Amino acid sequence: MTLGEKLKALRQQQDLSQPVLAERVGIEQSYLSKLENDRSLPSNDILRALLTALDTTLDEVLNDPALDTDLARLRQVPDIEQWLRARSARRHGQQRLWLIVSTLLMALSAGIFYAGFTKQVFDETHYVYESPGVVTDDEPDNVFFAWRQLIPVQEDVRRRSELTQQKEREMHQRRDDISIVTTRFEGMAFEVPVNGGRRIYTLQGDRRIPRAINGWLQVIGVVLFCAGALGLWIERRLYTTSPKQHLPG
pLDDT of residue 54 exceeding 70, the answer is yes
> Mean pLDDT, to the nearest integer, of 131-158?
88
**Contacts from 182-191 at CB under 8 Å and sequence distance 24+?**
182/126, 182/127, 182/129, 183/123, 183/125, 183/126, 183/127, 184/127, 185/127, 186/127, 186/129, 189/129, 189/141, 190/129, 191/141
Q: Give the tens place of pLDDT for each residue, 215-241.
A: 999 999 999 999 999 999 988 887 765
Beta bridge partners of 21: none
Q: Band of the pLDDT at 153, cuts 50, 70, 90? A: confident
* Domain positions in the chain: 3-74, 83-119+214-249, 125-208
For the chain, give the percent of residues with pLDDT over 70.
Answer: 95
Tell me the average pLDDT of the chain.
90
Residues 6+ apart with CB under 8 A from 156: none
- What is the structure's pLDDT at 248? 41
* 41 contacts 70 by C-beta, under 8 angstroms: no
pLDDT of residue 134 exceeding 60, the answer is yes
pLDDT of residue 242 exceeding 80, the answer is no
From the options 3.40.50.1110, 1.10.260.40, 3.30.70.960, 3.30.70.1140, give the CATH code of 3-74: 1.10.260.40
Q: Give the tens place of pLDDT for each residue, 156-182.
A: 888 888 888 999 999 999 999 999 999
For the chain, give the percent of residues with pLDDT over 90.
Answer: 74
Local structure of 208: helix, strand or coil:
strand
Of the candidates 71, 67, 92, 94, the residue with the CA atom closest to the CA atom of residue 82: 71
Q: Would you give the DSSP letter of residue 69?
A: G
150/132 Cα distance (integer angstroms): 17
Element (H, E) at 144: helix 143-146
pLDDT of residue 243 exceeding 50, the answer is no
Q: Band of the pLDDT at 155, cuts 50, 70, 90? A: low
Residues 6+ apart with CB under 8 A from 219: none
